[in-house]
Amino acid sequence: MEFFIDTADTEAIRALCSFLPVDGVTTNPTIITKSGKAPEQVFAELCEVLTEDQKIIAQVIATDYDGILAEAEKIAAIRGGKNIVVKIPVTRAGLRAIPAVKAKGISVLATGIYSPDQAFWAAKAGADYLAPYVNRMCNYGDGVGQVVELVHTLAQYGMEAKVCAASFKNVDQVHRLLAAGVPAVTVAPDVIAAMIDHPGTALAVEEFTSNWEKAYGRTTL
Ligand code: E4P
């Protein structure tokens, strides 16, 4: 499975990549604006902070067919086409653009997905990844359940598109989709931290050290 970090905060990416085997980074226009930096600078920093084996997944801004095609090529050129994936929202223009972008040899992640039915059409159009917005879907119903259903639908038809579940707001949402075997997730740094930093573990380690020190007068083996 693939685990991406959903941020354009390069310091957070650097810190997480120093101890976690993450598969790359996803951004969207809003995430990039939140960095407070120019998009060109963000992309340059992402290329510097990530290894060539880690994917950079970046979104088009254009909403018309020709604009999406032109921007997809621009994004692909950020890194010479290797391990770069272009995010295209599943609008009518986006669904039309997906096969055309794929025909240029560019990988595509269909984004802005609020329903399994939109995801189905993006898969049929040839998208490599499908990004259902889990938490936003939860505003309308059982977002997690619908994404699990989507994974099963794709498997049933032998469709190759991978679900890359996105828009998580808590660990439970991530946990339930990992337990269901979702092939990829993209998770913001704060939720990743909550997956890892359990207060119980910190207390257990403190207790081990303190008992050892009391018995042996040192804090090393
Ligand atoms: C993926 O990169 C999506 O754009 C992102 O997860 C959306 O997250 P949000 O619902 O917090 O905006």
pLDDT digits (tens, 9 = 90+) for 115-143: 999 999 999 999 999 999 999 999 999 99
Whole-number pLDDT of residue 103: 98
pLDDT band at 180 (very low <50, low <70, confident <90, very high): very high
- Atom 7 in ligand 1: which residue has the minimum CA distance? 167
**Whole-number Cα distances in Å, 139 to 11, 116, 167:** 31, 15, 12
pLDDT band at 24 (very low <50, low <70, confident <90, very high): very high
Whole-number pLDDT of residue 94: 98
Active site residue 169: no
pLDDT greater than 80 at residue 25 = yes
Whole-number pLDDT of residue 81: 72
Give the start-end residues of each E strand in the chain. Answer: 2-6, 24-26, 55-59, 84-89, 107-113, 129-132, 162-165, 184-187
117 touches 154 (CB < 8 A): no
The residue with tokens 């090393």 is 220
45 touches 36 (CB < 8 A): no
The residue with tokens 């990829």 is 184
Local structure of residue 140 (DSSP, 8 states): T
How much of the chain exceeds pLDDT 90, in percent?
Answer: 98
Q: Which of 96, 93, 142 is nearest to 115 (CA)?
A: 142
**Whole-number Cα distances in Å, 55 to 3, 16, 124:** 10, 15, 23
Token pair, residue 205, equals: 């380690």
- Atom 8 in ligand 1: which residue has the minimum CA distance? 167
Whole-number pLDDT of residue 155: 97
Instruction: Give the integer Cα–Cα distance in Å for 57 and 25.
Output: 6
What size, in residues, is the chain?
Answer: 221
The chain-wide mean pLDDT, for the chain, equals 97
- Atom 4 in ligand 1: which residue has the minimum CA distance? 28
Does the Cβ of 130 fall within 6 Å of ligand 1? no
Token pair, residue 99, equals: 């096969």
From the number of C-beta atoms within 10 Å of its C-beta (0-12, 13-18, 19+), residue 126 rates as: middle
Amino acid letter for position 211: N
- 33 C-alpha to ligand 1 centroid (Å): 13
Does the Cβ of 107 fall within 6 Å of ligand 1? no
Catalogue all structural domains in the chain, each as residue range(s) with its CATH number.
2-194 (3.20.20.70)
49 touches 27 (CB < 8 A): no
pLDDT greater than 90 at residue 82 = no
Token pair, residue 194, equals: 């909550």
Whole-number pLDDT of residue 124: 98
